[in-house]
Structure 1
Amino acid sequence: MIKRTLPKYFWPSILTFLVSLLMLFPIIWLFFSSFKQTGELFSYPLALLPSEWTPSHYFKVVGDGFFVYVFNSLFLAVVGTAITLIISAMCGYALAIYRFEVSYTNLIFGIFLLGTLIPGETLTVPIVVVISELGLYNNIWGVILPVVTTTTGIFMFRQHYLSIPLSFVEAARIDGSNEAQTFFYVMLPLGTSSIVTLTIFSFMWRWNDYILPLLVLSDQKKYTIQIAIKNYIGFNGVDWSSILAASVMSIIPIIILFIILQRYIIGGLSASGVKG
């Protein structure tokens, strides 16, 4: 009689699945609750599925100009992410490749790391004051420009370029390539995994940003999604059904982006060498 045994990773896989399901439960609850009537949201006992599916909340949110806020958030996230990628890649390249040519690159990198010890909230007031002095108050660029640099992105690219042999740069220089050509045509394409990983993180940070847009933008037509959702909280009460519907719609772009690019995340976070 053949004795059957469970695969080696059977129970760890089951545990991983259960933990993943537990972490997904709030999103699942959010989705189903967005189809409930407001009174049903607070009924007892609580039920996962709505007694009557009500999609009217989504129609109301769309009718309130939701796609205008989607465009504002997309512009903020896409443009901000693009600028962040270029700046982070350039800084990471300089700190890694010029480490033998410039003696104080490690000191500069250390200063960048020290900046992470400062809570971002403490810089909010100075940032808003500078934005106002520059004439960028109530301007979408006043939300984009203050956060285009990120220590996380610089660290990620620096560590990646440290793993690439300097012979790549030296060979490009021998072939007559200047520094800009070496960076854009040789080194930047080698950082694909870091580019994709930072794209996901940067897009998510800007898409979900709340404090800075709230302080900088005063014209409702320029609101981002997160600020627009706040409009459903008023003196007459809270429109929970619309908040839930808008919240579900607001996370769809992040989920799509993550699904498309998820296979690059591990490669971007690990300090891997050059693959031939």
Structure 2
Amino acid sequence: MPLRTLGALAGILAWLVTGCGDGGETTVTVYAAASLSEAFEDLAAEYEAANPQIDVELSFAGSARLAAQITAGARADVFAAADGANMSRVVAEGRTVAPPVAFARNGLALVVPSGNPGSVTELADLSDDGLVLAVCAPEVPCGALAQAVLADAGVDAEPDTEETSVRAVLTKVMLGEADAGLVYATDVAAGGNKVASVPLGPQIRFNDYPVAAVSDRAAAAGFVDFVLGPDGQRILRSHGFESP
């Protein structure tokens, strides 16, 4: 059999394996912003419990990285971003099958390691060159939000590290590798007793999170509807997200 025919058959087989598992199980691949990790794990578990024939496969990373993967042809069924800008990139490339809908809101937060070794008490303290500051890279939603908050407050802060996802920033702070970081409010909760938050006061800003089906499979639309519905919203609120 010609190699090209073998390659085509392999591609069809891979599609079948991705789309259906044993017993006719359907796999829905969801690309979601890193800050949604715990919430979407719970969403997926409850959705699977209500739909035993569906398996939800989750892929978490910074929204910018996920958007780049989808526009490059990654086989995602659903995309949940932490901002409208990265979702707009995916929409502009014709990769969504329905208009995005905002499903959650998250606010920026200033986080420090437990015990606050850097003695950070307000946003202005981040201008101290002696502090190690971790933020998201500018193209990542939490990075763009951090830049806006610092500019609004007139704080001249030079980050020591710019990470590709908000969870990478949180990890730096949790490990004590940074004296402070700018993350989302929900990430502070995820950090548990290893971190503490410092109030931002009037400088706080929010991002709305949009979700959209990337494939035209019924299971993709079903998962989006679940996220937007009362059960999905209940789970998101339990993880500290607000309604958009």
With the shorter chain as reference, the TM-score category is: under 0.3
Q: TM-score scaled by structure 1?
A: 0.23
Q: Which has the higher contact order (CA 8 A, sep 6+)?
A: 1
Q: TM-score scaled by structure 2?
A: 0.25
